[in-house]
Each structure stands twice: as structure tokens, then as C-alpha cells.
């Protein structure tokens, strides 16, 4: 399970390293009126979360594809041995569960945002 923490860590590092403009503006500190400006490009928390989820999806999709390819190699490597097949089946199961969680979060957020837009709000 330690590899999952490593994946989450590197996804977070990738989000910050690859898309810093998503999270930070060039101007920070007190603005012209003497008040602090918002360092995030988004006005609402919902907009920020949608953008964050979009970046996570963009980074997670290639990882999901590579994990499915890896489980294919595990099936080939097993060569019909019960222990190897059990390992490959478990890897495929957890890969699909992870993919469904990530993609399901995206679908759920789009459904919620669509509902909010339908009732006249902005998301």
C-alpha cells in the first residue's frame, strides 16, 4: 500500500509543477486598495475544485492505462500458475476500482455542476 501513497504524492507534485498557473496568479500580497487579493484564479470553491479535478483526471488517465497494461503483463507472466493468476486478478480488480473512483468523481462533479447551472447558479 506504500506505492499508493507515492502515486498520490507524485500526482500532487505533478499538479503543482505542471499547472502552477491554475492555482496561483502573478500578483500576491496587498492590492491597490490596500486589501489582500485572491491568489487563486477562481472566484468560488466550486470552480477551484472543478479545475483541480480536471487536472487530476488528466494526470490519472495515463496512469490508469499503464496500470491496465501492467496487469496484462502480470497475466502473461503468470503462465497459468494459480498464484500468479491470483496476483494478476487482484491487480486488475484494484486497477478497475481505482479507475471507477476517479472517473466516477468526475461524472458526479459534472452532474452536480449541471444541476447547479440548471437552477440558475454558476459552477
Closest by alpha carbon to 71, among 49, 50, 96? 96
Domain boundaries, the chain: 2-118
pTM beyond 0.85 = no
* Half-sphere exposure in the Cβ direction for 2 (13 Å, CA): 0
**Ordered per-residue pLDDT tens for the chain, 123 residues:** 566 666 666 666 566 555 555 555 445 555 566 676 667 777 777 778 778 888 888 888 899 999 999 999 999 999 989 999 999 999 999 999 999 998 888 888 888 888 888 888 776
Amino acid at each position: 500500500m506504500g506505492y499508493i501513497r507515492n502515486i498520490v504524492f507524485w500526482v500532487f507534485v505533478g499538479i503543482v509543477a505542471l499547472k502552477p498557473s491554475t492555482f496561483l496568479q502573478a500578483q500576491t500580497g496587498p492590492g491597490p486598495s490596500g486589501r489582500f487579493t485572491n491568489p487563486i484564479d477562481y472566484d468560488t470553491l466550486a470552480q477551484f475544485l472543478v479545475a483541480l479535478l480536471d487536472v487530476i483526471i488528466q494526470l490519472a488517465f495515463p496512469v490508469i492505462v499503464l496500470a491496465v497494461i501492467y496487469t496484462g503483463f502480470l497475466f502473461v507472466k503468470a503462465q497459468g500458475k494459480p498464484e500468479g493468476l491470483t496476483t494478476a486478478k487482484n491487480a486488475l480488480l484494484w486497477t478497475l476500482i481505482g479507475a471507477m473512483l476517479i472517473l466516477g468523481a468526475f461524472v458526479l462533479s459534472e452532474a452536480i455542476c449541471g444541476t447547479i447551472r440548471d437552477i440558475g447558479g454558476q459552477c
